[in-house]
Amino acid sequence: MNVLFVAAEATPYVKAGGLADVAGALPAALRTLGHDVRVVLPRYREIRQNGVPMEGPIAATFLPLGERAEELRVWRARDDDVPTYLLDVPAAFERGVIYGESDDHRRFILFARAVLATMQHLREVDGWQPDVVHCHDWHAALVINYLKTYYAYTFGHIATVFTIHNLAYQGQVHPDVLAVAGLSEGGLVENGLGAGIAHSFNFMARGILYADVVSTVSPTYAREIMTPEYGERLDGLLRRRQDRVAGILNGIDTGRYDPATDRHLVATYDVDHLEGKAECKAALQTRCGLPVDAARPLLGVVSRLVEQKGFDLLHVIMPWLLQETDAQLVLLGSGQPYLQEAFQRLAHHHPQRVAVTTGFDAALAQQIYAGSDAFLMPSRFEPCGLGQLIALRYGSVPIVRATGGLADTVREGYDGNGFRFHPYEASHFIDAIRRALISYRDVDGWKLLRERGMREDHSWTMAARHYAGLYQWARGQ
């Protein structure tokens, strides 16, 4: 199949969040299965300044935006592995940031129009046309809207897939934007989907409404977002389309995240030779200023310090952890100031038990995965989650709240690979940690638990096979 990926970010070109990892890794995995996958993304100032090798411009035109027209130039990255087209719209993307501008809605209207113009160029000049257009998150949603309306005659036979990475970010703006985008209400009001949607211009809602198939990044999250608790006011629309909604777990780059080859570690190891993990634990304790003690359980955290990730709950249980257990905690991350400061105070008052590093340090992150005995992810909601997948690969047993992708990847019990709790309450989180610490004292049982997680396949190849099936489903709609 010919597949066109449309995303606002993708590694190795530009990254603001986890979307970039998906848009960078999944196309490559699909190409190894024989599919002709190409990627389009904005040519941000950052990409230009970083000196990414490019050919072009291979095409140039003007894009309508309300009563104005903005210049588009199309460049092709010199990357033979995954053909990537960088859409240069200076009015929209010659900025110092990727997201967060007051005119983001205008920027991504232009991006959608630029994608359609690029598709026309590829068909007319290169003779290449996608069988499936795969759009990611609200920034790319209008591509599907345009394909199914104004371009229905030109590209009407092309199937569309819309992937929701995080439903909380929807691109919801004033309805006046309809005129700027050159779109009608498009059925949203007529379908009676509620004032929160019908009386605004909602990029995400339009992607959900017009796509042949809607996907999310885990099966559990696909079910959760159809409920009022997780649906972010779009649950009604999602329930209407539930027969075309699917959840596919993200993968991880198993070449990058491999304890057998990781250059950031003092000692490498694999599931059959775990001696190096003990060295990694001692090195992590030393680096973080904690007493080096092989017997003491070491808990790791690598995350944004925000309430979504459950750090208000972690802070609530810290007195219990410090008073009733001998566990150490190593935390890397930054986020909401009050949470960041709260954990820094804990580290200051308990330097033998708690170590906190703010910001992000890629080497330290890998060292925490390798050196920790268990990995904490008490998220309020988690569409997929990558931390638990990396932790499993490095033999750090995950302790998670059973939501979204965490519920799909972490099992507790006879054939388990970790520990989980569901009610978002301190007592349930404490019980999960207590069960893990009891298990930790059973040396043989803990070794078996760790090895079971390390042997699991969470590669992008597995995810790519599922997406290939999803594309066939979309083409049959």
pLDDT tier, 227 (very low <50, low <70, confident <90, very high otherwise)? very high
Strands 159-164 and 328-332: unpaired
Q: Is residue 202 part of a domain?
A: yes
> Residue 101, Cα to own-chain centre: how many angstroms?
21
Strands 68-77 and 54-65: antiparallel
* pLDDT beyond 50 at 199: yes
pLDDT tier, 188 (very low <50, low <70, confident <90, very high otherwise)? low
* pLDDT beyond 80 at 230: yes
Are 165 and 297 contained in the same domain? no
Q: Is residue 268 part of a domain?
A: no
Q: Is residue 267 part of a domain?
A: no
Q: What is the pLDDT of residue 233?
A: 92
Model pTM score? 0.91
Q: What is the pLDDT of residue 191?
A: 46
Are 358 and 283 contained in the same domain? yes
Are 422 and 469 contained in the same domain? no
- Report the C-alpha gap between 340 and 358 in whole angstroms: 8
Are 352 and 423 contained in the same domain? yes
* pLDDT beyond 90 at 467: yes
Mean pLDDT of the chain: 94
pLDDT tier, 198 (very low <50, low <70, confident <90, very high otherwise)? low
Q: Which of 379, 383, 18, 23 is nearest to 216 (CA)?
A: 383
Is the Cβ–Cβ distance between 247 and 255 less than 8 Å? no
Q: Which residues contact 170 (CB under 8 A, 6 or more apart)?
A: 138, 202, 203, 204, 205, 232, 234
Are 393 and 469 contained in the same domain? no
Are 453 and 353 contained in the same domain? yes
Binding positions for ADP-alpha-D-glucose are 15
CA distances to 36, 250, 356 from 464, in Å: 13, 9, 36
* pLDDT beyond 90 at 114: yes
User: How many independent structural domains does the chain possess?
Assistant: 2
* pLDDT beyond 50 at 447: yes
Q: Is residue 204 part of a domain?
A: yes
Each residue's pLDDT tens digit, 152-169: 999 989 999 999 999 999
For 216-283, the three-class secondary structure string (H helix, E strand, C coil) is: ECCHHHHHHCCCCCCCCCCHHHHHHCHHHEEECCCCECCCCCCCCCCCCCCCCCECCECHHHHHHHHH
CA distances to 107, 373, 380 from 18, in Å: 21, 25, 18
Are 129 and 243 contained in the same domain? yes
Q: Is residue 264 part of a domain?
A: no
Token digits of residue 236 = 């009604």
Q: Which residues contact 443 (CB under 8 A, 6 or more apart)?
A: none
* pLDDT beyond 70 at 196: no
Are 17 and 35 contained in the same domain? yes
Each residue's pLDDT tens digit, 329-353: 999 998 899 999 999 999 999 999 9
Q: Which residues pair with residue 157 across a beta bridge? A: none
At residue 256's C-alpha, the angle toward residues 251 and 259, to 5°, is 105
Are 229 and 245 contained in the same domain? yes
Are 187 and 326 contained in the same domain? no
Q: Report DSSP letters for 97-130, one per residue.
A: -SS--TTHHHHHHHHHHHHHHHHHHIIIII----
* pLDDT beyond 50 at 314: yes
Full residue range of the structural domain in which residue 18 is found: 2-251+461-475
* pLDDT beyond 60 at 439: yes
Q: What is the CA radius of gyration of the chain?
A: 23
Q: Is residue 71 part of a domain?
A: yes
Determine whether 410 is exposed, middle or buried from the number of CB atoms within 10 Å of its CB (0-12, 13-18, 19+). Answer: buried
Each residue's pLDDT tens digit, 27-73: 999 999 999 999 999 999 999 898 889 999 999 999 988 888 999 99
Binding positions are 15
Each residue's pLDDT tens digit, 380-397: 999 999 999 999 999 999
Q: Which residues contact 67 (CB under 8 A, 6 or more apart)?
A: none
Q: What is the pLDDT of residue 186?
A: 57
CATH code for the domain of 435: 3.40.50.2000
Q: Work out the percent of the chain whose per-residue pLDDT is above 70.
A: 97
Q: Is residue 182 part of a domain?
A: yes
Q: How many CA atoms lie within 13 A of 259 on its CB side?
A: 33
Residue predicted with more confidence, 238 or 180: 238
Are 221 and 318 contained in the same domain? no
Are 241 and 282 contained in the same domain? no
Q: Is residue 414 part of a domain?
A: yes
